């Protein structure tokens, strides 16, 4: 005869099995391939700033531009198209990339998503040049101020898909930031950014109902 304690054990097992990990849920990233705005300068690259295209070094004020959705940091950052004098690696499925030059360069965006295990994926490459300027840049990725990935590049590194370490976060908004950390004329490029979270969800109520019916039958047999 089945004892009540055994019934209780079965009930606990049902409750434990009543939560399962869902497939990844996408987290919206605005302007993930830096396609907006198009670089207006004829050299097809520009640093973040308000000096304009004719200032010797081209500048364009991307921050606050409608549709940009990112924020560049203090300096050494901007946008480039393919095949410019910045010598970026060959582009894949995107038309522009952010460049991070030196240790003051950064680009960030506030992401909003559910509670779960977050990861960020992106394409990262380095400058195809060496000598006085090169691609020997190290890029640190921060999510909610926490380091979720550090990537040391050398010159002539083609774009490759990278994914950060997972980070468990509650539901809310968190700052995603890419930072250059190498002092000097060392440049990396980033584009094609995406983010996702794995979130827990209840299994089918039908499955739980079947378990409860089974418990009732076991209790009847035990009576």
Residues 11 and 48 in one domain: no
Q: Are 126 and 189 in contact (CB under 8 A)?
A: yes
124-162 pLDDT tens trace: 999 999 888 999 999 999 999 999 999 999 999 999 999
Mean pLDDT of the chain: 87
CATH number of the CATH domain containing 84:
2.60.120.260
| CA nearest to 180, candidates 139, 122, 133, 126 | 139
96-120 pLDDT tens trace: 999 999 999 999 999 999 999 999 9
Residues 35 and 120 in one domain: yes
Residues 5 and 97 in one domain: no
Mean pLDDT of 77-99: 95
Residues 85 and 5 in one domain: no
Instruction: Quickly list H helices, 63-158.
Output: none
Distances in Å between the Cα of 81 and the Cα atoms of 7, 84, 168 are: 66, 6, 35
Residues 136 and 220 in one domain: no
Residues 208 and 166 in one domain: no
End-to-end CA distance of the chain: 8
Out of 54-58, 128-132, 161-165, 187-191, pick the least confident: 54-58
- pTM assigned to the model: 0.82
Residues 37 and 71 in one domain: yes
- Structural domain including 6 reads 1-18+203-223
Task: Please tell me the total count of domains within the chain.
Answer: 2
Taking the C-alpha atoms of residue 96 and residue 35, their distance in angstroms, rounded to an integer, is 5
């Amino acid at each position: 005869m089945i004892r009540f304690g055994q019934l209780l054990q079965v009930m606990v097992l049902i409750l434990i099995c009543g939560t399962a990990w869902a497939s990844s849920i996408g987290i919206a990233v605005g302007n993930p391939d830096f396609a907006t705005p198009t670089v207006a300068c004829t050299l097809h690259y520009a640093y973040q700033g308000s000096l304009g295209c004719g200032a010797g070094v081209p500048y364009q004020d991307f921050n606050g531009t409608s549709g940009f959705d990112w924020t560049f940091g203090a300096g050494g950052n901007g946008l480039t198209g393919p095949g410019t004098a910045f010598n970026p690696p060959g582009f894949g499925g995107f038309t522009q990339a952010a460049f991070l030059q030196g240790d003051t360069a950064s680009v960030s965006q506030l992401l909003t998503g559910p509670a779960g295990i977050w990861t960020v994926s992106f394409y990262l490459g380095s400058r195809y040049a060496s000598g006085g300027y090169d691609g020997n840049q190290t890029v640190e990725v921060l999510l909610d101020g926490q380091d979720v990935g550090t990537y040391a590049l050398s010159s002539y590194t083609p774009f490759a898909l990278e994914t950060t370490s997972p980070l468990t976060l509650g539901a809310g908004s968190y700052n995603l930031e890419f930072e250059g950390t190498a002092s000097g004329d060392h440049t990396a490029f980033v584009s094609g950014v995406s983010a996702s979270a794995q979130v827990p969800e209840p299994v089918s109520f039908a499955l739980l109902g079947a378990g409860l019916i089974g418990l009732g039958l076991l209790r009847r047999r035990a009576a």
